[in-house]
Amino acid sequence: MFTLRLFPVLFLLPAIAGQAFLPASAVAQASTGTWTFAVSGDSRNCGDFVMPAIAAKVKAENDAFYWHLGDFRWISSPDQDLLAMLPGGSQLSKSDYQKRAWDDFLEHQMASFGSFPVFLGRGNHETVPTMTRDGYIAKFSNFLTRPEIEAQRKVDGDAAGAVQPWYHWTRDGVDFITLDNASKDEFSDAQLHWLRSVLDRDLAPQSGIHTIVAGMHEGLPHSTTSNHAMDDWDLGIRTGELVYTWMFDAQAAGKHVYILASHSHFYSPNIFNTPYWKQHSTTVVPGIIIGSAGAHRYQLPKEVDKASKTDIYGYLQGTVHADGTIDFVLHELSERDLVESKWPNAPLDAIHECFIHNSDDAGK
């Protein structure tokens, strides 16, 4: 088991026995200028109405890819968007709903993107019984084995290893790392060992990596959203603290580092600007919550940054600059955006209901 260090110092694991750490520059290209990507999470409940609008926007903006941080469908109960698009009078048992839930995500959310690149992360609702990790890997294998991911696995010397919900890929000197903290057995030793090897390669001289973006479902511990994050279980606290510290170490070593999560159904920047992390590190790592892709929207905790927003649908657009810095801007969607991108069988009254009332504040 990895040992948590309370104060950040650079920590490099030796190479895994029998595996040479190849430079990430083997797949990381030199930066060619400014470009953009999009990210959000939590598309349960009303995502069949929201995600087509996100897809239309990111394709029109010519973003490089869209990154979904988990919670595709509600699983514990049928999503209201799915029910609204059933033929009139149709009923679904919980069992029947669960059998079709992930297919519905593919048919009414992912299909909106067509051939546009999409990367998926695993959320806690992907673990609600009867859903399993193995079932997730099997159902979404086409996303977990995208050409960018497989090319990176070859460079990492991991091409023969099992496909996992965690993976990474690089583009123009930026390492995008998808982590899996959807279940209470994470972060596991296996995932931590993998992550440490990825960071060691990124930190190696001549790696070609100047920026690290870590995306995951639940926020790391001691953030402004700690009431709904990895703070909820002991292993999550211990291993989440370790992962944050590793990210801080990378930042202290000169990399541009950003940590993105969803799970809380709102937008909130500067989530690690908290007394805990300011006490344990000189400069906190930039962190953002973006859980606004269709899920029932939460009230904002009192501790969050003043720029936070809820009762919205939207996504982050990240603009990558030639020096490796990334600016993140919230793109909000209007009800008109949802209507213009809707499926033919999506009722307008159901879209309106989702836009107005899918919220802790039912009186909005």
Q: What is the pLDDT of residues 306-320, one digit of tens each?
A: 999 999 999 999 999
| CB contact set of 88 (below 8 Å; sequence gap of 6+) | none
DSSP state of 297: B
Report the share of the chain in percent with pLDDT over 90. 87
**Token couple for 357:** 């009332």
The reported pLDDT for the residue numbered 89 is: 73
Decide which of 232 and 282 is more confident.
232
Q: What is the pLDDT of residues 345-355, one digit of tens each?
A: 999 999 999 99
Q: What is the pLDDT of residues 264-277, one digit of tens each?
A: 999 999 999 999 99
- Please say if the pLDDT value at position 364 is more than 80: no
Q: What 3-state DSSP class applies to 219?
A: coil
How do the domains of the chain map onto residue ranges?
A: 33-357
Positive or negative torsion for Cα 15, 258, 230, 180: negative
- Please say if the pLDDT value at position 99 is more than 70: yes
Band (20; pLDDT cuts 50, 70, 90): very low
The reported pLDDT for the residue numbered 32 is: 58
- Work out the average pLDDT over 29-44: 84
> Which residue in this structure is represented by tokens 């904002």?
300
Give the CATH fold of the 33-357 domain: Purple Acid Phosphatase; chain A, domain 2 (3.60.21)
**Token couple for 168:** 């990474």
| CB contact set of 56 (below 8 Å; sequence gap of 6+) | 112, 337, 340, 341
- Work out the average pLDDT over 98-107: 98
The reported pLDDT for the residue numbered 27 is: 40
Report the share of the chain in percent with pLDDT over 70. 90
Of the listed ranges 290-294, 331-335, 355-359, 360-364, the one predicted with least confidence: 360-364
DSSP string, 53-103: HHHHHHHHTT-S-EEE-S--S--SS--HHHHHTSPTT----HHHHHHHHHH
**Token couple for 68:** 């979904």
Q: What is the pLDDT of residues 175-229, one digit of tens each?
A: 999 999 999 999 999 999 999 999 999 999 999 999 999 999 999 999 999 999 9
**85-107 burial, b for 16+ CB within 10 Å, e for fewer?**
beeeeeebeeeebbeebbebbee
DSSP string, 104-129: HHHHHTGGGGTTS-EEE---GGGSST
- Please say if the pLDDT value at position 26 is more than 90: no
Do 120 and 68 meet the contact criterion of CB atoms below 8 Å apart? Answer: yes
Decide which of 1 and 64 is more confident.
64
Q: What is the pTM of this model?
A: 0.91
Do 260 and 69 meet the contact criterion of CB atoms below 8 Å apart? Answer: yes
Other Cβ atoms less than 10 A from the Cβ of 196: the count is: 18
Band (279; pLDDT cuts 50, 70, 90): very high
> Which residue in this structure is represented by tokens 């110092």?
9
Q: What is the pLDDT of residues 58-74, one digit of tens each?
A: 999 999 999 999 999 99
Q: What is the pLDDT of residues 291-306, one digit of tens each?
A: 999 999 999 999 999 9
The reported pLDDT for the residue numbered 245 is: 97
The reported pLDDT for the residue numbered 362 is: 57
The reported pLDDT for the residue numbered 236 is: 98
- Work out the average pLDDT over 19-36: 52
Other Cβ atoms less than 10 A from the Cβ of 335: the count is: 16
Do 71 and 217 meet the contact criterion of CB atoms below 8 Å apart? Answer: yes
Band (23; pLDDT cuts 50, 70, 90): very low
The reported pLDDT for the residue numbered 12 is: 36
Do 36 and 320 meet the contact criterion of CB atoms below 8 Å apart? Answer: yes
- Work out the average pLDDT over 41-63: 98
9: phi then psi, degrees, rounded to nearest 5: -135, 150
- Work out the average pLDDT over 277-281: 90
CA distances from 333 to 61, 103, 106, 254 (A): 14, 25, 21, 36
- Please say if the pLDDT value at position 256 is more than 80: yes
- Please say if the pLDDT value at position 257 is more than 70: yes
- Please say if the pLDDT value at position 90 is more than 90: no
- Please say if the pLDDT value at position 2 is more than 50: no
The reported pLDDT for the residue numbered 197 is: 98
